[in-house]
Amino acid sequence: MKIPKNFTDFLYWVKERTETIWSVDGENCAKGFYGARWQPLSEEQINSIELKYSVRFTSEHRDFLKILHAIDKKEIIEYEDEGEIITEQYTFFYNWLENEEEILQVMKEPYEWMLGDIESVNKVWLKSWGIKPKSTEKRKEIFEEWFSNVPILLPLMGTRFIVSNENLKWKPILSIRGSDIVTMGWDFRTYILNEMRNHLDIYIEVFDEEDQRFYPELLPEVQDIFDQNFKYDETKDIPYLKEMILYWSSGWKGFGLKYYPENAKIQRIVSTYTAEEEI
């Protein structure tokens, strides 16, 4: 397999590969995706969306919207609840022409979820915020001042957001659930490979001698892309958000860092900072 390095070529590769896989109702086609097609946007539509939502897409995001954007199907998720099989439909990538209500709600959620984590059982408080005040209102005031400096976050799908600032060297895609923030890719190409790994047929079956069974592993070419993208680089930064990401030990991996020693058998997710509280 030869995955294109040029981003435009890569997007067309994804389009052709996914639509081919989705055209066959087989084991490689996830539920709800049979017959799915991408619905790209025109330059004029993208410009209109930017005006409507008062946003500015990065150059890579614009390319994504022009070649892929969203599909014409819903993802189907099935799960068991008290012995009953529940079936739900979810938007795959947000459709900027059709999912206005959903997009507007999702755009508010990073603020709402992070603020909620300050007062919830997580009791999040960053070192840069200083001594933690007793007053709920004061805590909110400090948080809002901090959040006003966070780069614009534009939704892609579910809880995935792109850091949308063309002036930044790194514009990663993040999975954001309050203070629990995971880096999905430091560039759009890596993110798409990561997000769509189950739709691109990029696994091989490897036999495990100990377990005497086959397990799926990413193709070496794909694994190398991930390894290179997530390795440590001192220039990797996300203004203000980096501190929030590193607040939990689970966020360190995205920066190529390790919170626990290599030989640690148990690696619980823990907060990495304990705030001094106002007396």
Q: Which residues pair with 86 in a beta bridge?
A: 79
Cα 230 to Cα 254: distance, rounded to the nearest angstrom: 6
- Binned at pLDDT 50, 70 and 90, residue 1 comes out as confident
pLDDT, tens digit (0-9, with 9 covering 90-100), for 42-94: 999 999 999 999 999 999 999 999 999 999 999 888 888 888 889 999 899 99
Q: Which residues of 68-106 are buried (b: 16+ CB within 10 A; e: fewer)?
A: bbbbebebeeeeeeeeeeeeeeebbbbbbeebeeebeeb
Cα 74 to Cα 21: distance, rounded to the nearest angstrom: 16
Q: Find the range with the poorest average confidence among 9-13, 116-120, 265-269.
A: 265-269
- Binned at pLDDT 50, 70 and 90, residue 19 comes out as very high
Helix (H), strand (E) at residue 12: helix 7-22
pLDDT, tens digit (0-9, with 9 covering 90-100), for 158-170: 999 999 999 999 9
Quote the pLDDT of residue 218.
Answer: 94
Quote the pLDDT of residue 153.
Answer: 97
pLDDT, tens digit (0-9, with 9 covering 90-100), for 262-274: 888 888 999 999 9
Determine the average pLDDT of the residues in 218-234. 96
Q: What is the pTM of this model?
A: 0.93
Quote the pLDDT of residue 116.
Answer: 95
Cα 90 to Cα 206: distance, rounded to the nearest angstrom: 32
DSSP state letters, 85-102: EEEEEE-SS--TTT-HHH
